[in-house]
Amino acid sequence: GGIITQTPKFLIGQEGQKLTLKCQQNFNHDTMYWYRQDSGKGLRLIYYSITENDLQKGDLSEGYDASREKKSSFSLTVTSAQKNEMAVFLCASSRAGQDTQYFGPGTRLLVL
Amino acid sequence: QQKVQQSPESLSVPEGGMASLNCTSSDRNFQYFWWYRQHSGEGPKALMSIFSDGDKKEGRFTAHLNKASLHVSLHIRDSQPSDSALYFCAARKATNSAGNKLTFGIGTRVLVRP
């Protein structure tokens, strides 16, 4: 078994601020993902990474940057937080060629 | 248009009853389907996958796939209060050259009444 850790658990930011979310996994999975969850909109893919130093844009990449520093970690940056924004950011991982994705508990973002 | 559509939006069932959830894809390239469950305050967790036509049973959960109509369903038998959660249908295309990109529906919220 393994675990995905996301930090911080809660993030409160100011409009225009640059915010960074971090994700660590000890599954030794090759592929990692960042999703955004909004009420009534399901999960939308922001970025994913097939291997260390690889980055692929998802459907919602505008306004975000990502970095795969090493196999076990994947960071997401909100480049300019939008006022009244509220969402949950979920990190996930999977083995190369294996489809089941394992999710972390999420980071809850609120922008004042 | 949402490429993976789920119905109903919410569902209330009595404890011990049967819950039935539906999912339809509008993209014929989606051939592989998953059901994920998310309890409040947690990340989603994979319940089961289904890739072939017909039924797949795992304990109290049965998934059914009809590839011709791109319809997949999930039935929860003998529903328990712990089954109260948000259920997502997710789909992947048959050819996926990079990563394992899944497309998620917006979810069905299930409430099991004691």
DSSP B47-109: EEEE-SSEEEEETTEEEEEETTTTEEEEEESS--GGG-EEEEEEEEES--SSTT--EE---EE
Residue A71 vs residues A8, A33, A100, B44, B114: alpha-carbon distances, Å = 20, 12, 18, 22, 45
Per-residue pLDDT tens digits for B11-68: 999 999 999 999 999 888 888 899 999 999 999 999 999 999 999 999 999 999 999 9
The pLDDT of residue A1 is: 81
| Per-residue pLDDT band at A39 (split at 50, 70, 90) | confident
The pLDDT of residue A106 is: 97
Average pLDDT score, chain A: 93
Q: Do A104 and B41 touch (CB under 8 A)?
A: no
Sign of CA dihedral A24, A26, A30, A31: negative
Residue A48 tokens, joined: 């994913």
Task: Say if CB A72 and CB B22 are below 8 A apart.
Answer: no
The pLDDT of residue B95 is: 65
List own/partner pairs for B57-64 with CB under 8 A and 24 or more apart. B61/B35, B63/B33, B63/B35
The pLDDT of residue B98 is: 57
| Per-residue pLDDT band at B101 (split at 50, 70, 90) | confident
The pLDDT of residue B105 is: 94
Q: Which residue is closest to B5 within chain A, CA to CA? A: A42
Residues of B in contact with A43 (CB under 8 A): 44, 88, 90, 104
Residues of A in contact with B99 (CB under 8 A): 31, 33, 48, 50, 56
| Per-residue pLDDT band at A96 (split at 50, 70, 90) | confident
- In single-letter form, the type of residue at position A55 comes to L
Q: For residue A1, what are the contacts with CB-CB under 8 A and spacing of at least 6?
A: none
Residue A55 tokens, joined: 């980055």
Nearest CA to B60 among B2, B1, B19, B6?
B19
CA gap B11, B88 in Å, rounded: 13
CA gap A36, B102 in Å, rounded: 13
Per-residue pLDDT tens digits for B67-98: 999 999 999 999 999 999 999 999 988 765 55
B17 to chain A, closest Cα gap in Å: 26
Residue B28, exposed/middle/buried by CB under 10 A (0-12, 13-18, 19+)? exposed
Altogether, the residues listed in chain B come to a count of 114
Model confidence at B99: pLDDT above 70: no
Per-residue pLDDT tens digits for A50-83: 999 899 999 999 999 999 989 999 999 999 999 8
Q: For residue B88, what are the contacts with CB-CB under 8 A and spacing of at least 6?
A: A42, A43, B6, B35, B36, B37, B38, B44, B104, B105, B107
Match 């797949």 to its residue by tokens: B56
State the best of A48, A101, A102 to mutate against chain B, taking most chain B CBs within 10 Å: A101
* Better-scored residue on pLDDT, B26 or A107: A107
The pLDDT of residue B66 is: 96
Model confidence at B1: pLDDT above 80: no
Nearest CA to B106 among A108, A36, A67, A107?
A36
The pLDDT of residue A84 is: 80
